[in-house]
Structure formats: structure tokens, C-alpha cells
Structure 1
Amino acid sequence: MSDTAVRVRRLRWPVRAVAAVRARAVAPVEPGIRDRGAWAVRTVRLPVWPLTLMFGFMPLWWALGAFQLAWPCFGVLLFVLLATRGRIRLPAGTTVWLAFLGIVALSAVRLHRLGGLGTFGLRLGLFCTAFLVGLYVYNLARDRVPWARVAAPLCAYWVGMVALGWLGVLVPKFGMPSPVELALPRGLAAQRFLQDLTHLDSTEFNPASANPIYRPAAPYPYTNNWGTGYAFLVPFVLAYLTAVRHGPLRVILLVSLPLSLVPAFLTLNRGMFIGLGAGVLYLLGREIARGRVRLLVPVAVLLLVGWLVTLIIPVVDMIQSRTSTTDTNLDRFDLYVQTWAAVLHSPLLGYGQPASVDTTHAAEPLGTQGMIWQLLYSHGIPATLCFYLLLFVVARRLAAAVTATGLWLSALPVIAAVVTPFYGYVDPNLSVLCAGIGLGLAAVDGAVNREPGVPR
């Protein structure tokens, strides 16, 4: 072996410690080099702190009134880190995601006024951020960053959401303008959409209801968003508890899980119960079909705890009272009918975003009150089909999971599909969903949950 070869090999370790640098400097002076690894792009591990900043500090962003408005900025941060790292692994469904985002971006040509570009850009940013969160989590786990570290930010998000849910239980009339709302120009702050996103309210309250009730909503503007986030996070928390057997965070989650039932039941979100029920039935069906019953015990425990809570909170009676004293079902049906009629006039690209129109009963804009309706009205039938195809591809891939942790995560795309007719989640909840799915995909695609060995 020549001296030049020896010298180049000694340079390998310092080069590996530098992020994304090519060893081109040795080429002019060492023309006889045969070490091809010296020409390879060197990568560094992705940090976990951006996820902690996004999810772990959620109560702070809510208190500032920047929770949803600043969320796409975190997506830009993730994009920069991924682009700087290079050599990104792409999980199942990436092509469908990109096609979906392309159709959504193209639907901007259907906007009727330039003033709508702001809200359209925010929703597009939320879609892109969710995709980047899933990609980031997937690559973190495939880099064998410990499972507990990758999942901890989302667990902190869960704890913050439960705490704010209890704020709605204990202080249901809490409400105040946020710093972001006060900083907005008066014309923008008066818009209903921006006011809902920036004003601080612990609950959602409908004074027009014949039987009004304060329903926990914080950190979201609407209680339905709280229920959707709850439906996405419960399987994730259960997956963490089955994967991590010790530590203070596990204790906190074990305490917060039963405590979360009180604000969850007080939201009176029927779609939340339907989504979670569908996820449980899906998992039990899979297990029984394979001759296994290991999930029966934890599911039975959860159902028992839920039943005990209903002895204190008559949630069934409250839901029946709400539906019997309001026109919520009639309002939704009328909204759905008129939304579908409008979609038939622009089936390919929709109208860019929901629009306020006169309806017989409903006061909400067309293209709201359900993910499927928002996608159909705002972005057209092809985008909606892409979204459902994405959920199908992910669900099919996650069906390969065999551990208890993977099984809980495999229920996420099923829950997401079931709640689409009832609730929309073009908000941080979509990022929550993609984070859980990204972690599940990483588990079925390769080794996870252990530190990487020294590269040789």
C-alpha cells in the first residue's frame, strides 16, 4: 500500500464528522486514490430538538396565539435540516403525497380573489409541514435514534393537550386576546378565520344552542379539533407505553391517560368515539384473525376505565340532549348536500378554499365540517382520491407490524379515514398523524430503537 493511500485513509474519520462535505480537496494532489468512500457524501444524524420545539413547546405557542400560524415555519426548519443532511430515505406513500401536494398547489388557480392567497398558503403550508414531519420522524428512527427520544416530543404534546383540556374543564369561561392577535392590524384581526386561530379560549360555546355547554377546545379553536387530536394521540401514547418500560415520562403518561377521559367526554365529539372505536375493532379483528388475543386485556382495561368515567359524567345523556335540542345533524346534512352540488361544477381542482354562501340551515362555509368535504370543495376529486390512496398505502404497509407497539400505530390511518366525514384536520393534527405514521413505517422498514454503531 502506498503512502498516499495511507494518508487518505487517515483523513476518513475527520471527514465523517463534518456535515455533507465532499472530499474533493484530495483529488488534485492525490490522482492515484482508490478509496471510493472518500468521494461519498458524508451525512450527519438529524437532531431531535426541532420536534421538541414544535410539539413539546405547544402550550407556549398557543399562549402566544401563534400555534397554527407559525406551524408552517417549523416545516421550513425541517426542510432545511433534511436538505442539508442529504441521502433522505423515502417511506411508503411518498409519491402519492407529492402528487397530492402538487394538485393542492395547482388548485390555487381557482381562487376567486387574491385576498384568499394568505389562507390558502397557510393551509398548503400545513399540508407540506405534515409531510415533512413524517419524513423527518421516519429518517430519525431509521437512523436508529432511540425510539423513546423520537416519540418523547409527541408525548409532551399529548400532556400539554390534556392539561389545556383540563383548563377548559376547570375554567370553562376563560378567554383573552393573544399577543399575536393584538399585534395584527385591525382589519386582519377582525376576520373570523384569523380571530379563531389567534384568540385564546379554553372552550367552545354556542350561545344559540337550546342547551348550551362549554366544550373543551384549547389549544385548538374548535372542540372538534381537540377530539381529532385525541383520537390520533391515544394510539400513539399506548404505543409508547408498550415500547418504553421505564422512565418518568412513562409514569406521566400512565397518569394522564385516565385523566384525559374527563375533557375528552366533555367535548361530546361523536366522531372521536367513532374513530377510536373503528381503530380498536380493526386491531382486534387483525389479532383474532391471526389467532392472537394479546390486545384484549389492554382494550378491556381501557373500556372499563371509560365506563367508570361515564358513571360520573353522563356523556351519553349529554350527547342525546345536545342532538335533540339543536339542529346539528340537519345543519351538517344540508351543508354536505350543497357542498357536493358545488363540487360537481368544479370537480378537478375545486375552489381553492372553503367559501361562505347562504345555506338553508347551516351557518358554516361550504367545504368545512369534515376532511373529505374540505378536500373535495377546496382541491377537487383527484386530490381527495390521492389522500385516500395515501391512507390505504400506509395502512397496507403498516399491516406488516407484529409487535404491540406497531399494532397500535397501524390503527392511525384507519382512524384518520373514519373521521374524515365528520372532522377536518388541516391543522397541526395532520402533523401529529404523520409523526405517528412515520414512526410506524420506520419500524416495519428496518431496525429501530437502538443507537447506531460506529461507521466503518
Structure 2
Amino acid sequence: MVKPSVRVRRVRATAPARARAVALVEPGVLEPGAWAVRTAKLPVWPVFAMFALLPLWWVLGVFYFVWPFFGALLVALLTIRGRVRMPPGTVFWLVFLALVAISATRLDKVTSLVIFGLRLGHLVTAFVVGIYVYNLVRDRVPWTRVARPLALFWLAMVALGWLGVLMPKFSFPSPFELALPHGIRSERFILDVTHLDSTEFNKFSENPIYRPAAPYPYTNNWGTAYCFLVPFVLAYLKSVRRGAMRIALLVSLPLSLVPAFLTLNRGMFIGLGAGVAYLLGREALRGRIRMLVPVVGILMLAWIVTLFIPVVDMINSRTSSTDTNKDRFDLYAQTWSAVLHSPLLGYGQPTTVDTTHAAEPLGTQGMIWQLLFSHGIPATLCFYLLLAVVARRLTASITVAGLWLSAAPVIAMVVTPFYAYIDPNMSVLFFVVALGLAALDGPVNRQDQQESSA
């Protein structure tokens, strides 16, 4: 007897798109592919173009202006990818950005929106860079690939620092500066960030001291970047045991001491010293001394450089021949007095006022003063809370490389009374911090490495 054939119809379970994005796959129940979350891979090339091509952006005169455009590109790529992971402290940063944006209502003239928008663009870009790098590492993109653009940024900065050492009077208008209308180019800040100068010096001094600054308009910016990048370089050297980049960084680190010392940046020395003291203190509390060897080695190199460069004498000569300290304290006092008249939102951006012997804008000469004056006390508190949250999270680092990265937010807090970094340096800081946070919050691809980055 022949059994009648029965046609079996296979029915595939379906679920709404929102459910498919969050549902757990039960093995043996449904086809995993039907429930898998599909996300686009984040490319590394935008970060490479942003950081590694620093010499090109500087020569064109668009170093400060191209940054927000890259930030917009990263936002687009993150949006396309979907399911973006957020690092610790995101809430504080979002509130901070909102307060900064609202402070634009305190600007006294419409034309000020150009510079305000540029600074806001740098803040947003730094936040996006941090998220992008964080997700790259969490997606297990090889650590060396993610870190390489920042390593090339460091090498370019050291090379341009040596340009200031060897050609201290190098000064030319950039192509972008020449293309700007005269009205915009005449703005002091715009002129500073578009003109190509290898050093910063007092044009009114009979015996000026040429201090390396390129690719930045001010030597203090160079010193700030140096503070943020030295821990990163040491973390890279500890994480990556072979390759041309490791050799280049090994050579560049002692070479960088020459332009670093010639900047005469006291705040830079204080920031790095605080970072080293923080790391040694953490290790001492745990009964370990492994950080002493690299620290002693760096201090020995620094001491050797001082045998050829009388750094202390040069700093004393600079401070004795100028009123830099007196001007700073006078500026700080006037800034705080102005903040008390607008404590919630500040004034939008720094404003010009005569100090005792100079004319510098209120709200400059330090990150804390710029935040207080430009955006108010609540925004300033949010910024410090963000750094505190990140620093607290990074205390979980246990490897030597991770310890070096954990020093970055501490250094950032210590230098705030002296240096402002609402510029590309903010993105540098968030790049470094994101590398450490991502390694703590998820698995890291350790290909070509003998030790994790955090």
C-alpha cells in the first residue's frame, strides 16, 4: 500500500525589526542568521587621515579648521554602523556640550559665532573621536592599527618641534590664510591658527626667546599635546614588541626632549611630573616597583639633555625679563571677578581686556579660566566630573601599558590652571583615554602584541 505524499511547508519565524535587534538567539530553536544584529564595520582610514596627515593640514593652514569636518564624517559612519557603544562619562559630556551650546546666547555680537562655532566643533569632535576609537577597539580591530594614526601624529609633532629648533624664524602665510577675506583674516585668533610659524616669541623683545610651537599657533599647545602623548607613546612601546613603528617611537622619544625643553613650558613639566607621581603612588600602594625602571630611565635622559640645554636658567631668564607671572595672576583675578557677574552661562568666549602690562583676553591662559568665563560654573563642573569618572574607571588598569594610559586624565586635570586645550588637543586626549577605556570594558585583539594595552 502506497502512503499518500504529504507536502510539508517550512515556516520561518519572523520578528519585528526592533525585536530582532535585541532578542537573544536560542540555539536549536531558530536560525541564528535571522536574529543576528547586522552592523557596518567602522573603517580606520578616517582616523588615519585625521591624525596621521597632520603635516599636510598644517602646511595648508587648515589644521584647526579641518578637524570639525572629520568629526562630522565620524558621526556619519557611527550612525551608519548603528549599535554604538558609549564609554563611561558620556552623560557628563553630553550635558557639558549642551551647556556650552546654550552659552552662545551670551555672545555680544553675531560675528563671534564663527570662532564660537569652531571651538564648539572641536569639543564635539573630541567626543566623537573618543566614541569612534572606543568602538574600533571593542570591535577587535587590531590595537596596533587603531593606535598607529596617533603614533604618526606624535612623530609629526616631534619633527615640527625640531623645525622650531633648527629654523626658529620660519614664518610664512599659509594657502588658507591667503584665501580668507581680509575681514576674517584680521581676527587675531584666525591669523594665529592659519599662519605658519615654527616658534612663538615676543616680537617686542630686544632679545626674543624662540620657543617651538608648530604645528600649533602657541607653544603652550605644543606642551599640552606633549603631556597627553608621552603616556601614549610609553604604552605603545610596552604593548607592541616589534615593528618599524616601535623603532621610530624609541628613537623619537629621546629626540623629543630637545624641543620639549626649549618650549620652557613650566605647566608641561608640572603635568608630566604629576602623572608620574600618580603612577608611582598607585604602584607603591600595591607594593610594586615595576614603574621605577622606565621612570628612572626617562629622568636620566632628561638630565642628560639639561647638560646641553640650560633649561632652568632659560626659564629664570624669561620670567625675570618679563611680567608673565604678574600678568597671569592679574588676568586670573579679573576673570574670576567677571565670572561672578555671569556664573551660569559665562560670556560665550574669551573677551579682550587690558591686564597690568599686556592685552590678553579674559578667559585665557588656562582651561579652567576659559571654561568658567566662556561657559559658566555648571559647564566647568561637568567637565571635571567627566575627567574624574574616566580617571576612576582607569584605576582598574593593571598592566604597565594600561597604567601609562590611565595617567592621561590626571595630567589633563593638573594642567587646566595653566593651559587650555579646546583645540585638536582635546581629540588627542580623548583618543588616548578611549584606548584605555575600551581595553578595560571589553576584549582586545592582541595580534602582534605580547601585552594588552590596558
TM-score, length-scaled by structure 2: 0.92
What are the residue-to-residue correspondences of 1:32-431 with 2, within 5 Å? 34-35=30-31, 37-209=33-205, 211-431=207-427
Q: Structure 2: 5+ residue runs without aligned partners? A: 1-7, 21-28, 448-454
Aligned partners of 2:44, 2:11: CA distance in 1, in Å? Answer: 37
- Cα offset, 1:171, TM superposition: 0.5
SS in 2 for 1:221: coil
Aligned partners of 2:214, 2:355: CA distance in 1, in Å? Answer: 29
Aligned partners of 2:42, 2:127: CA distance in 1, in Å? Answer: 16
- Cα offset, 1:34, TM superposition: 5.0
- Cα offset, 1:40, TM superposition: 4.9
- Cα offset, 1:208, TM superposition: 2.6
Q: Which moved further from structure 2: 426-435 or 203-212? A: 203-212
Match of 2:452 in 1: none
Q: Is the 8 A contact 2:279 2:403 kept in 1?
A: yes
Residue type of the partner of 1:173?
K
Cα distance per residue 1:346-397 (max 9 Å; x no partner):
0000000000123333311000000000000000000000000001000000
CA distance 1:294–1:41, change in 2 (3 Å): same
Residue type of the partner of 1:179?
P
- Cα offset, 1:37, TM superposition: 4.9
- Cα offset, 1:22, TM superposition: 9.5
Cα distance per residue 1:36-67 (max 9 Å; x no partner):
75255411221111110000001100000000
SS in 1 for 2:384: helix
Q: Is the 8 A contact 1:335 1:362 kept in 2?
A: no
Match of 2:441 in 1: 445
Residue type of the partner of 1:260?
S
Aligned partners of 2:157, 2:124: CA distance in 1, in Å? Answer: 23
- Cα offset, 1:211, TM superposition: 4.4
SS in 2 for 1:357: strand
- Cα offset, 1:190, TM superposition: 1.4
Aligned partners of 1:74, 1:81: CA distance in 2, in Å? Answer: 11
SS in 1 for 2:65: coil
Aligned partners of 1:396, 1:408: CA distance in 2, in Å? Answer: 14
Aligned partners of 2:283, 2:114: CA distance in 1, in Å? Answer: 46
Cα distance per residue 1:189-237 (max 9 Å; x no partner):
1111100010000000102346421100000000000000000000000
Q: Is the 8 A contact 2:344 2:375 kept in 1?
A: yes
Q: Is the 8 A contact 1:22 1:38 kept in 2?
A: no
Q: Is the 8 A contact 1:401 1:444 kept in 2?
A: yes
Q: C-alpha root-mean-square deviation of aligned residues, in Å? A: 1.9
Aligned partners of 1:97, 1:191: CA distance in 2, in Å? Answer: 30
CA distance 1:5–1:282, change in 2 (3 Å): farther
Aligned partners of 1:4, 1:85: CA distance in 2, in Å? Answer: 33
Aligned partners of 1:142, 1:209: CA distance in 2, in Å? Answer: 52
Q: Is the 8 A contact 1:148 1:449 kept in 2?
A: no
Residue type of the partner of 1:411?
A
Aligned partners of 1:426, 1:23: CA distance in 2, in Å? Answer: 41
Match of 1:28 in 2: none
SS in 2 for 1:364: strand
Aligned partners of 2:399, 2:40: CA distance in 1, in Å? Answer: 30
- Cα offset, 1:23, TM superposition: 12
CA distance 1:3–1:261, change in 2 (3 Å): farther
Q: Is the 8 A contact 2:354 2:360 kept in 1?
A: no
Percentage of identical aligned residues: 71
Residue type of the partner of 1:46?
L
Residue type of the partner of 2:289?
V
Aligned partners of 1:397, 1:23: CA distance in 2, in Å? Answer: 32
Q: Is the 8 A contact 2:347 2:375 kept in 1?
A: yes
Aligned partners of 2:398, 2:257: CA distance in 1, in Å? Answer: 28
Residue type of the partner of 1:423?
Y
Q: Work out whether 1:436 is the aligned partner of 2:427.
A: no
Q: Is the 8 A contact 2:235 2:402 kept in 1?
A: yes
- Cα offset, 1:434, TM superposition: 0.2
Aligned partners of 1:330, 1:360: CA distance in 2, in Å? Answer: 8
- Cα offset, 1:134, TM superposition: 0.5
Aligned partners of 2:358, 2:421: CA distance in 1, in Å? Answer: 20
Residue type of the partner of 2:424?
P
Aligned partners of 2:341, 2:222: CA distance in 1, in Å? Answer: 33
